[in-house]
Structure 1
Amino acid sequence: MVRRVTATRYVTPLREGGSLPAIVEADDDGLYVVKFRGAGQGPKVLVAELICGELARALGLPIPELVFIDIDPALGRNEPDREIQDLLSASAGLNLAVDFLPGALAFDPVATRTLDRRLASLIVWFDAFITNVDRTPRNTNLLWWHRQLFLIDHGASLYMHYTWQDYQQRARNPFSRIRDHVLLPIATELETADRELTSRITPELLWNIVANVPEEWLVDHRFPSVEAHRAAYVEYLGLRLTAPRAFVQEAIDARERL
């Protein structure tokens, strides 16, 4: 289960993020990086972040804790920046946050050669599976903290849910953007990663994860009900696991072309 906390203090915006995330203190005395529901791309970013982040955790990949966080629009009443005030007002209610890792360092692509090849292969497979376009040398979305690598920021994944057009067919497509993955050069165990992770992603696991998505984030006129919307996520991810998995072969071929 994903814990739920309440924001008590807006600490500082993180302006390097396009959606203006922020460090916020909560009523458990923890600090969190909040992804706001009222940001430009809306709740679909939070849905992707939640589904992919909790799936990564279930598979044993290193990811900071995700929590639901309640935002009171009054939280920004003392903020001089009108953009921040408007964002907090538009995000009143339930949002998503990730545990803040104080002192964490951004992963340097130069250090790739020192990373465990098995872990690199698992991460590359996972990102190809969830169609994550955002783990490149330019923007690795990987952090070092206490000598451990952590995966962050999966909001750009599952991008098919912006249209849901032909999603059953698209689920079987390769993922050509994997060629840009920062860890691809050392992902030498992709076949092993494929066997290991595919066997662990069951329909029950997918349903348990998708069931965590708050109902108010699943608003899409394409579906007759929230349950139908949830079922579409489970179906899409399940179809991506159907053999032959084109996204796996695409990753293997891309690495061989390096």
Structure 2
Amino acid sequence: MISITFPQESIMSSIKQNIEQVISQITSSTEKCGRTADSVQLLAVSKTKPIAAIDDAIAVGQRAFGENYVQEGVEKVQHFAGHAQAEEIVWHFIGPIQSNKTRPIAEHFDWVHSVDRIKTARRLNEQRPSSMAPLNILLQVNTSGEESKSGIHVTDLAALADEIATMPNLVLRGLMSIPQKADSYDSQYAAFKLLADAQQQLHIKYPQIDTLSMGMSGDMDAAIAAGSTIVRIGTAIFGARDYT
């Protein structure tokens, strides 16, 4: 079981303040581009973070959490299944997907952000329990063309979307990207706008496509201006990660 080893009261206060600050930043960004604050969801990236830290975030109203590692994420989903707010908590898998790990993802998560292959989509569809609601799917797009990055090319989106549309246990909700790091606002915005334009094209055929998962601490302002509906924030909420 994941545990915490530092003073709980001070950590909870810090997490509360951090979440409030991030929400304030989201509100400021949405106001600047004429959007409402509730049009952007804060996804707290809790990978490598202890159960107690997530508990603290839940205690101050956070309900959506993102996990990158299958085993760790499943353990957390199972732990919080008995939580008083269990029905309100939404779990997003946002990491790379290995073929032999699709079953636990399909059986435990509510959203998957990182689908970029038809094989992965088929496995998630086949392995999603019929007793659960269809799994919300985002297609990961490689907007920068970097070979080191996962994601489908924009020109291949339509074909993959058409395939997923036939799968009864999946619902295609939108797109996700992790663009190449850029220091200037204009460069950040251009990469996000490419994804937003692709989403709008898909939305014409599939009206349920309403989600853009893009933007983190360093480029959230540009992502929201381009149309992001989910921003993925980890360190700014929970502090630096310890991968040891």
- TM-score range relative to shorter protein: under 0.3
Structure with greater Cα Rg: 1
TM-score by length of 1: 0.26
